[in-house]
Chains A and B, each alone.
Chain A
Amino acid sequence: MRPKNLIIAFALAIALAAGVFVAARLQTPASLNTAFLLPAPTPLPAFSLVDQAGNPVTPDTFRNHWNLVFFGFTHCPDICPTTLQILAAARKELVSSGQEPIPRIVLVSVDPERDSPGVIGRYVDHFGVGNLGITGQLEELRKLTSSLGVFFEKQAGDEENYAVDHYAGVILINPDAEFHALFSGPHEVRNFVHDIPLLMAGR
Chain B
Amino acid sequence: MRIPIICMSILLSSCGGGGPPQPPLVATEIVVTAPMPGSGMSAAYLTLKNNSSQTISISRVTSAQYASVQLHETTIEDGVARMRAVPELEVPAGRTVTLQRGGKHLMLMRPTGSTGTVSLQFFDEDALVLSVETAIESRSKDEHDGR
Contacts and interface: CB of A to CB of B under 8 A. Distances in A.
A77 B37 contact: no
B104 to A, nearest CB: 9
Contacts of A161: 68, 109
Interface in B89-147: 101-102, 105, 107-109, 141, 143-147
Contact of A121 (B38, B101, B105): B38
Nearest to B106: A77
Given A102-B146, A120-B38, A78 B79 contact: no
A68 B105 CA distance: 26
Interface in A86-136: 88-89, 91-92, 95, 102, 114-115, 118-123, 125-130
Contact of A114 (B37, B39, B72, B143): B39
Interface in A48-100: 74-79, 81-82, 85, 88-89, 91-92, 95
A169 B79 contact: yes
Interface string A23-67: 000000000000000000000000000000000000000000000
Interface of A: 74-79, 81-82, 85, 88-89, 91-92, 95, 102, 114-115, 118-123, 125-130, 151, 161, 163, 165-169, 184-186
Given A167-B79, A186-B102, 15 more contacts: A74-B39, A77-B36, A78-B43, A79-B81, A81-B36, A91-B146, A92-B145, A92-B146, A125-B141, A126-B144, A129-B147, A151-B80, A163-B84, A167-B80, A185-B79
